[in-house]
């Protein structure tokens, strides 16, 4: 087993550094010392669900007393041995290692002595393969023993037939990523990125790194009570399906046809929603775009700010791996033949896409939907810009294969001035460090800060005063115009009743207090505002991308991680 160990976690108030698996951690413990164990974990299949069963961790004798303190209170230990065992069982059964721990007082298990001998034998083993074999046998004994003694009829067959799946791919703070999860994530990555070509090992490393980052971020989100609600997941699925011009049922079939479990796809989508919320709190408020940057961008990127939308369809013929001159030639000949069939009228572009294309959107006739030029894949964009409606272009060569492109439609909105009414406001976000938002101390801090915000002649100066504050984070945007219809109805209603320069009531969202300062009511040329907003969005995304990379690097650097190689 090769492990790569990063630094210990520092995520405020803490993530528990223990042996185990996600279903075991009902309680959080602050363990501030360095890792003192090497976990060997196996996973089993139970009722078609992945279940982590038993984790055994050899522990230095010098650390045994300290670890036993935690184990006695929160997990289970085997008597008189330098091991800690943590397990989760199928629904309805007792903790198998708890049975082992309490056998003298309660159950008098006859076979326990043989288990103890196995532990003693394992302690002397240096060969990892032999050690893992013994651990697997021991796990099996524990499960069968637990089922026979506690639930003789109900669970013994299920436990006996438990199917060994695979080992852990990574230990991340107080959680794990299994190879089963990694395998599924790789399959989903291939579906989402059909044109990406890389070796199997590099692909696994890429996906695993992202899984690790996601795991850390989700742990942090859980500590801050940030959730992805069912309604938000359903709304996101509906948008994605609509964008691909299919029903939710058809979309599910498309996902599953590519070997991806739809329930896991939904969970991944939920995780993305949670990640987005966390990033908004952790990063977005720190990204600043000045009016000078916006003006400069508009002057130098006028073509990117045009609101022309291109409805494009594509056909992908992938080059078979390994990619050689022969397989590349075969793919090129195939797509040339398809193009001849389309241009001669033997088959429509949509029919050809459904029949031949390797792209994920093949079932929709290859339709990518209507997009602005900067949202079209970069391999297409230069070609699409100069195409006429109905034109078929290509083949376009890429690393993964060849594309045919058809411009289905091109729309450009009127450039006439559009006057709309809205509000000029400043957005204010207040966050407390190591202080619960519901506490009396937080209430005192909030009242004090609200008074200061109300009295301040210049909010920027007030924000500077709180720059290095140890208790409060204060974020204030520059004045911005917001269309009335784009604001939440309750906030728009409240702003209408405010006098100039007054503050809205603070609202607690995802652990932070949010409010606005009303500056003025304005009727403006919305077409100009839209251009500025588009420029802002592009600059924001560019800066946000860099900020996210830095944030992800910090997450990794401040976490306990073991990448376990096979």
How many structural domains are present in the chain?
Answer: 3
Q: Which residues pair with 370 in a beta bridge?
A: 311
In order, the DSSP letters of 472-499 are EEEEEPPPEEEEGGGS-HHHHHHHHTSP
For residues 155 and 7, membership in a common domain is answered with: yes
For residues 427 and 360, membership in a common domain is answered with: no
349-382, pLDDT tens digit by residue? 999 998 898 877 787 888 888 888 777 777 778 8
Mention every residue, 6+ apart, whose C-beta is less than 8 A from residue 442. 432, 435, 436
b/e burial code for range 117-153 (CB count within 10 A of at least 16 → b) = eebeebeeeeeeeebbebbeebbbbbbbbbbbbbbee
Q: Which residue, of 411, 435, 469, is where some domain finishes?
A: 411
For residues 484 and 400, membership in a common domain is answered with: no
Residue that is written with structure tokens 């006859």 in the block: 110
d(CA 102, CA 144): 17
For residues 375 and 353, membership in a common domain is answered with: yes
Q: What is the CA angle 426-432-435, rounded to 5?
A: 155
d(CA 362, CA 54): 44
For residues 395 and 439, membership in a common domain is answered with: no
pLDDT reported for residue 75: 34
Is 184 inside a domain boundary? no
pLDDT reported for residue 303: 57
For residues 424 and 502, membership in a common domain is answered with: yes
Neighbours of 561 (CB within 10 A): 24
Q: Which CATH number goes with the domain that contains 482?
A: 3.10.50.40
Is 65 inside a domain boundary? yes
Distance (Å) of CA 164 to CA 8, 218, 281: 31, 27, 41
Is 115 inside a domain boundary? yes
pLDDT reported for residue 339: 93
Residue ranges making up the domain that contains 393: 308-411
Is 536 inside a domain boundary? no
For residues 39 and 115, membership in a common domain is answered with: yes
**Residue 254 host element (H or E):** helix 248-257
Is 279 inside a domain boundary? no
Q: Which residue, of 154, 179, 204, is where some domain finishes?
A: 179
Neighbours of 42 (CB within 10 A): 20
Neighbours of 199 (CB within 10 A): 9
For residues 143 and 6, membership in a common domain is answered with: yes
For residues 401 and 428, membership in a common domain is answered with: no
Is 152 inside a domain boundary? yes
In the structure encoding, which two tokens stand for residue 153, read together? Answer: 């009829």
In order, the DSSP letters of 99-163 are HHHTIIIII--TTHHHHHHHHHHHHH---HHHHHHHHHHHHHHHHHHHHHHH-TTTTHHHHHTPE
Is 281 inside a domain boundary? no
For residues 380 and 456, membership in a common domain is answered with: no
The residue ranges of the chain whose pLDDT is under 50 are 1-128, 142-166
Neighbours of 59 (CB within 10 A): 21
Is 41 inside a domain boundary? yes
**What predicted TM-score, i.e. pTM, was given to this entire model?**
0.42
Q: Which residue, of 362, 388, 411, is where some domain finishes?
A: 411
For residues 393 and 326, membership in a common domain is answered with: yes
For residues 377 and 494, membership in a common domain is answered with: no
d(CA 135, CA 122): 8
d(CA 532, CA 246): 34
């Amino acid at each position: 087993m090769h492990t790569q160990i990063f630094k210990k976690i520092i995520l405020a108030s803490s993530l528990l550094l223990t042996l185990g698996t996600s279903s075991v951690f009902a309680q959080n413990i602050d363990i501030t010392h360095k890792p003192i164990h090497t976990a060997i974990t196996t996973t089993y299949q139970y009722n078609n669900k992945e279940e982590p069963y038993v984790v055994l961790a050899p522990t230095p004798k010098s650390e045994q007393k300290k670890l036993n303190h935690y184990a006695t209170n929160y997990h289970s230990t085997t008597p008189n041995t330098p091991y800690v065992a943590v397990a989760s069982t199928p629904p309805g059964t007792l903790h198998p290692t708890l049975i082992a721990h309490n056998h003298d007082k309660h159950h008098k298990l006859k076979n326990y002595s043989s288990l103890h001998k196995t532990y003693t034998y394992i302690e002397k083993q240096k060969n990892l393969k032999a050690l893992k074999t013994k651990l697997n046998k021991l796990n099996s004994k524990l499960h069968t023993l637990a089922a026979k003694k506690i639930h003789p009829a109900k669970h013994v067959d299920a436990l006996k037939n438990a199917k060994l799946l695979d080992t852990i791919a990574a230990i991340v703070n107080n959680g794990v990523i299994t190879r089963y999860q990694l395998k599924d994530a790789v399959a989903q990555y291939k579906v989402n990125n059909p044109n990406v070509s890389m070796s199997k090992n590099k692909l696994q490393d890429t996906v695993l790194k992202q899984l690790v980052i996601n795991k850390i971020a989700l742990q942090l989100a859980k500590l801050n009570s940030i959730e992805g609600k069912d309604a938000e997941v359903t709304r996101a699925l509906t948008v994605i399906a609509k964008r691909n011009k299919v029903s939710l049922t058809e979309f599910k079939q498309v996902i599953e046809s590519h070997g991806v479990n739809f329930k896991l796809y939904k969970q991944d989508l939920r995780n993305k929603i949670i990640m987005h919320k966390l990033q908004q709190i952790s990063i977005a408020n720190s990204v600043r775009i000045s009016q000078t940057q916006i003006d400069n961008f508009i002057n130098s990127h006028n073509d990117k700010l045009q609101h022309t939308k291109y409805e494009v369809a594509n056909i992908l013929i992938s080059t078979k791996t390994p990619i050689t001159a022969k397989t590349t030639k075969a793919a090129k000949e195939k797509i040339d033949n398809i193009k001849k069939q389309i241009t001669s009228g033997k088959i429509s572009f949509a029919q050809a896409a459904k029949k031949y294309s390797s792209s994920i959107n093949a079932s929709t006739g290859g339709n990518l939907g209507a997009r602005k030029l900067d949202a079209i894949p970069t391999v297409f964009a230069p070609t699409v810009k100069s195409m006429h409606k109905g034109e078929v272009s290509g083949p376009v060569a890429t690393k993964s294969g060849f594309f045919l492109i058809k411009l289905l439609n091109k729309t450009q909105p009127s450039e006439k001035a559009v006057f709309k009414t809205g509000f000029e406001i400043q957005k204010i976000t207040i966050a407390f460090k190591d202080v619960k938002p519901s506490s009396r101390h937080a209430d005192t801090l909030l009242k004090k800060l609200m008074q200061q915000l109300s009295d301040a002649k210049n909010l920027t100066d007030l924000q500077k005063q709180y720059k290095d504050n140890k208790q409060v984070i204060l974020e204030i945007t520059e004045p911005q115009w917001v269309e009335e219809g784009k604001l939440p109805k309750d906030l728009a209603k409240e702003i209408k009743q405010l006098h100039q320069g007054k503050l809205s009531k603070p609202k607690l969202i995802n652990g932070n207090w949010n409010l606005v300062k009303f500056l003025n009511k304005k009727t403006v040329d919305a077409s100009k505002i839209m251009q500025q907003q588009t420029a802002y969005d592009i600059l924001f995304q560019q800066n946000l991308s860099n900020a996210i990379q830095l944030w992800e690097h910090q997450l990794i650097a401040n976490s306990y991680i073991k990448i376990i190689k096979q």
